[in-house]
Structure 1
Amino acid sequence: MILVTGGTGMVGAHLLLHLLQQNEAVRAIYRSEKSLLKTKNLFQLENCLDLFDKIDWIQADINDIPALEKAFTNVTEVYHCAALISFDPKDEDQLRKVNIEGTANMVNCALDFGVEKFCYVSSIAALGDTKNGEKIITEATEWNPEKNHGDYALTKFGAEMEVWRASQEGLNVVVVNPGVIFGKGFKSGSGELLQKIEKGFPYYTKGSTGITSAQDIVAIMTELMNKNIFGERFTIVSDNVILQDLLNTLADNLHKKRPYFYVKPYITSMAWRLDWLVSKLLFQKRTFTRATAKSSHSVDIYDNSKIIQQLNYTFTPMKDYLATVSLAHQKAL
């Protein structure tokens, strides 16, 4: 039996579909009945509703040990995809609770129940920091604790430390660090970007980021597990793209006006400070932080050569995939 956490999120839902198409027996954790609809929607988009009924759903939380123990019964493999994604400093405690403590609970249960294989979905946010003059980030790039990191990045890095601790205790683990993930059927994550473009988002920067498709990450994860490749981490990035180019591509796919207002670094510097002030005065969640302002102008390049060489893997062309995702988004409106 394979256990998947985060089965109602983009990666977890695509992973469940992929595993079921490979005739695997899968169990998935969910928190509410409403959240199941997101996964069911994906299966419907792919004309695979019959497979959805084969999932062994268990209502649980990764910070609820008794519920987790029930979920781990007879499990031999685990894909830990569940995470909290937030860039609001007010969510620091919850980010630590879910991403670090939750991951610690998962690997501890995996050790206690004799799980044979464990795959953890981290993020490029948890990769290291380039030094002055460097631009390329690999799996071996060192994390600099003195640099300013957002709470999300810090907690994903902390979660990885729990996974590597479990590895030292005998658990077979592999870690994947995906870039921004695009996939069908989800309004959260990269889906929020599509919604902004749909509404006429006018702003762009000239920073860069790494992107990948949901279908690539789940294919890579399962192949790593099937080939028993453990004790390694892999950067999962199909393409490194300039943010302006990415936004233009999405706007073109959705037949919307391209973003036209270039936001210079000094403007984003003022913007995150203004956002902080507004959040204090109106008791609102932060929408733009210092960390996101910095990342919007970063031009680091994420090196994917390790996974390509390890699996002889060919990534899905992102231009075509983004067109497919955009079309699915339009149909869902």
Structure 2
Amino acid sequence: MALVFVTGGTGFIGSHSVAALHRAGHRIRLLARRESAVRPALEPLGLHPADVDVVLGDITDATTVTRAMTGCDAVLHAASIYSFDSRAHRRMQSVNVDGTENVLAAARWIGADPIVHVSSFAALIPTRGRPLDGNLPVGKPRERYMATKAEAELIARQHQSDGAPVTITYPMATLGPHDPHLGDQSARLRSLLLGRLPIWPTGGYPLGDVRDVAELHADAMRPGQGPRRLLAPGRYVSTSDYLRTARFVTGHRLPAVFLPTPAVLPVGLLTLALQRICPWHIPVEYGAIYACHCDARLDERTAPAPSRPFAETMLDTVRWLHESGHLTRRAAGRAAPA
């Protein structure tokens, strides 16, 4: 089995992917900025820090990346800042774009095969009515996080054009248990259950389960496949279906008003500006509204199907939010274990 160099292994998708790679028999060398972040991310998934080789460093430092990667057989680049918070814009550009160039260039230099770059469906929107597919042109989204993922996508595709064995994966918006940093999707579900999101835009977006994404990355660790682009399993979920599922899972009424996205986008732009000066996170985010406005769909005939019903994914997420202390038993409703 391969020695796999992993970035972003203490994040949501990254930690689950590390666990899946370990189950598949691979050895892991994990690049982390803080050693203290490794145990909280991996232990809930059944891993001990001793199960991986931890190297301290930052993907924005090209020299450190190359030195840490030397001797590895394959690479999984999952490091990314996923946030619609305007306060993270500068760091986002450095990590998502410059860091991707550093990692992929180093991976080519050491001769890694495969080199798996974790992109996002957001790098492909707006799709202008076409279903999501890895062969779509790189999108030109009007939101900063999505724009950095599109820039990183251009870098990865250039390496593919050069013939490098780069596999690009496209996770959907992702839910599931054990989110080390309470990322955007988990935080939005929590805000909904706490009654902080009474107004919702129409439209929707594709959603997937983090465990399916992790298995995709473990399956992608086969050398000799050449450049590839792989959609992660997912399904299109309208905002009304999202609310309906949350009501079913928790047993709560969760009253909400739905407005057309053109009417809600200006509110998102206002909160985007306010967030720059507000020390507290504002749950109404322009990026989430814009994603609903783009309303990206999947072709159910060709897109990989999720392994679980959406209600099960949401149930597991809510249950974990309660068990980890992010939700009270009352907020989790009947999703909380008896």
When normalised by structure 2's length, the TM-score is: 0.84
Question: What's the counterpart of residue 147 of structure 2?
Answer: 154
Distance apart, 1:318 and its partner CA: 2.4
Unaligned runs of 5+ in 2: 326-338
Q: 1:142 to 1:279 in 2, by over 3 A?
A: same
Partner of 2:312: 320
- 8 Å contact kept, 2:127–2:294: no
2:12 corresponds in structure 1 to 10
What are the Cα deviations for residues 130-187 of structure 1, in whole angstroms up to 9, with x where unaligned? 33xx353322333454xx5211111111111211222334420110111111121112
Give the secondary structure class of the aligned counterpart of 2:9: coil
**Structure 1: runs of 5+ lacking an equivalent:** none
The one-letter code sitting in structure 2 at the alignment partner of 1:138 is: D
Following the alignment from structure 1 to structure 2, what is the Cα–Cα distance between the partners of residues 89 and 280? 6
Q: Is the contact between residue 264 and residue 289 of structure 2 (CA under 8 Å) also seen in structure 1?
A: yes
Q: CA deviation at 1:255?
A: 4.1
Residue 111 of structure 1 corresponds to: 108
2:59 corresponds to which residue? Answer: 62
Structure-2 residue corresponding to 1:197: 192
The residue that corresponds to 1:23 in the other structure is: 25
Q: Deviations over 1:227-256 (max 9, x none)?
A: 743322122242111112213323432344
Contact 2:120 2:169 in 1 (8 A): yes
What is the CA–CA distance in structure 1 between the aligned matches of 2:211 and 2:278, rounded to whole Å?
40
Aligned length: 320
Contact 1:278 1:284 in 2 (8 A): no
Aligned equivalents of 1:259, 1:152: Cα separation in 2: 30
| SS of the residue 1:302 aligns to | coil
1:216 aligns with 2:208: no
Letter in 1 for 2:267: A
Q: Distance in 2 between matches of 1:118 and 1:304?
A: 28
Q: Percent identity?
A: 20
Report the Cα distance in structure 1 between the residues aligned to 2:185 and 2:276, rounded to whole angstroms. Answer: 27
Distance of aligned partners of 1:247 and 1:32 in 2 relative to their CA distance in 1, 3 Å threshold: farther
Which amino acid in 2 is paired with 1:223? Answer: D
How big is each residue's C-alpha offset from its partner over 1:261-299, in whole Å with a ceiling of 9 and x where there is no partner? 223435413413432554577687776565543323443
**Structure 1 counterpart of 2:333:** none
Give 2:171's match in structure 1, choosing from 165, 170, 178: 178
Which range moved further: 210-219 or 288-297?
Answer: 288-297
- Corresponding residue for 1:303? 299
Contact 1:253 1:323 (8 Å CA) reproduced? yes
CA contact (8 A) 2:6 2:78 kept: yes
Whether the 8 Å CA contact 2:203–2:238 is kept in 1: the answer is yes
AA at the equivalent of 1:206:
T
Q: CA–CA distance in 2 between the matches of 1:242 and 1:111?
A: 40
Please state how far the C-alpha of 1:332 moved relative to its aligned partner. Answer: 1.6
Q: Does residue 207 of the first structure (1) align with residue 203 of the second (2)?
A: yes
Report what 2:238 is aligned to: 242
Change (3 A) 1:305 1:13: farther
Assess if the C-alpha contact under 8 Å between 1:110 and 1:171 holds in 2.
Answer: no
Q: Is the 8 A contact 2:139 2:150 kept in 1?
A: no
TM-aligned CA deviation for residue 83 of structure 1: 0.3
Task: Determine if contact 2:7/2:77 at 8 Å carries over to the other structure.
Answer: yes
| Counterpart position of 1:137 | 132
- Select between 198-207 and 182-191 the one with higher mean Cα deviation: 198-207
Question: Bigger shift: 249-258 or 181-190?
Answer: 249-258
Change (3 A) 1:230 1:257: farther
Q: 1:144 to 1:212 in 2, by over 3 A?
A: closer
Distance 1:140 1:69, change over 3 A: closer
Query: Equivalent residue of 1:102, what SS?
Result: helix
- Residues 113 and 223 in structure 2, CA contact (< 8 A), matched pair in contact too: no
Quote the residue 1:269 is aligned against: 265
Residues 128 and 140, structure 1, Cα contact 8 Å, conserved in 2: no
1:36: how far off? 2.1
- 231, 252, 275: which one aligns with 2:227: 231
